[in-house]
A = this chain, B = another copy of it.
């Protein structure tokens, strides 16, 4: 509407990015529940007043920062389904264990489950696109005959990604070595192979 000409001192763009960076690093260190606005301000080298000039509440800030957390995620596509899947699971594990340190994902999972605004946006911007990409990858493989044509794609997506989430949640209780992903994929592909 009003492309009003701003008067007065302009906002320092560095403040916003410093705050976002502080939120992410604190999220890793102290988790969602341990994150305070005072800590964010201090870590960002910024006053709380400046934060509240940009975001109406802590909730708003978190939604904004976390939703923009992981937008880029290239899909491996060598044309060789087995290797693509192993690579995809490895990337997923790396992604999860990167933010794992700060326990972002488990807490986001709880938010998703609780259907909070934060959870809704996280699912919408992070989880669902990834599921859709994997589904597309499998559909393509099925179309070119690499896997049996009666394979249920939805369930296949669950079977591939569910175990990764599970192992991540269990963490130290069920450590997974580098061979875990290929063992999983190879095991599944045995059942997914087209009838000869």
Asked if residues B103 and A110 are in contact (CB atoms below 8 Å), the reply is yes
Asked if residues A159 and B184 are in contact (CB atoms below 8 Å), the reply is yes
Asked if residues B112 and A109 are in contact (CB atoms below 8 Å), the reply is no
Taking the closest CB of chain B, its distance from the CB of A196, in whole angstroms, is 13
Residues on B with C-beta less than 8 A from A170 are: 112-113, 123, 127
Residues on B with C-beta less than 8 A from A164 are: 162
Q: How far is the CA of A141 from the CA of B127 in the complex (A)?
A: 35
Q: Indicate how many identical chains form the complex.
A: 2
Q: Describe A's contact surface by its main secondary structure.
A: helix
| Residues A187 and B113 in contact in the complex (CB < 8 Å), given A162-B164, A165-B166, A166-B162 | no
Residues on B with C-beta less than 8 A from A187 are: 151-152, 155-156, 159, 191
| Residues A180 and B162 in contact in the complex (CB < 8 Å), given A103-B114, A115-B172, A191-B190 | no
- Ordered by A's residue number, 20 sampled pairs between the chains whose C-beta atoms are within 8 Å are A31-B114, A106-B113, A112-B169, A113-B170, A113-B171, A123-B173, A127-B170, A154-B174, A155-B184, A155-B187, A159-B162, A159-B187, A162-B164, A162-B166, A163-B163, A165-B165, A165-B166, A187-B191, A189-B191, A190-B191
